[in-house]
């Protein structure tokens, strides 16, 4: 029974829709904003928060904001989700262009 449940869970994970897009992390205390792009928005928050908890995030200002205020200070926000029907090369191009747009729009630092 456990094997069937596991196989169903794996199949469900593989069949899920993967959304690419642009996200922002904001510090409530300082007002700082960091913007990044991700090929899979459903996993990026966990990845970033994991590196912050471990103290190994490569973005010093973001790590400093985490160290000062922790999880309560930072918020995660999806800014834009790309269309699903884009080719991989077009998706990469659009992510780069939209990342630049959001960095300028929000006066943010790049992740």
Identify whether 11 is part of a domain. Answer: no
Q: Which tens digits make up the pLDDT trace of 5-34?
A: 777 766 665 666 789 999 999 999 999 999
Query: Which residues of the chain fall short of a pLDDT of 50?
Result: none
- The total number of structural domains in the chain stands at 1
Q: Rounded distance, CA 29 to CA 52, Å? A: 17
How confident is the model at residue 86, as a pLDDT?
83
How confident is the model at residue 6, as a pLDDT?
76
Name the burial class of residue 37, with classes exposed (0-12), middle (13-18) and buried (19+) by CB atoms within 10 angstroms of its CB: buried
Residue 67 lies in domain: 17-110
Identify whether 46 is part of a domain. Answer: yes
How confident is the model at residue 13, as a pLDDT?
58
Which CATH number belongs to the domain containing residue 39 in this structure? Answer: 3.40.1440.10
């Amino acid at each position: 029974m456990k094997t069937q449940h596991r196989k169903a869970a794996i199949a469900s994970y593989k069949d899920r829709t993967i959304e690419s897009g642009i996200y922002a992390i904001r510090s409530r205390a300082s007002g700082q904003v960091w913007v990044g792009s991700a090929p899979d928005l459903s996993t990026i928050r966990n990845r970033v928060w994991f590196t912050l908890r471990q103290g190994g995030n490569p973005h010093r200002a973001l790590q400093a904001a985490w160290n000062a205020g922790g999880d309560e200070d930072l918020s995660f926000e999806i800014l834009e989700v790309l269309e699903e029907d884009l080719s991989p090369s077009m998706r990469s191009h659009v992510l780069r262009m939209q990342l630049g747009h959001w960095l300028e729009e929000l006066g943010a630092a790049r992740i």
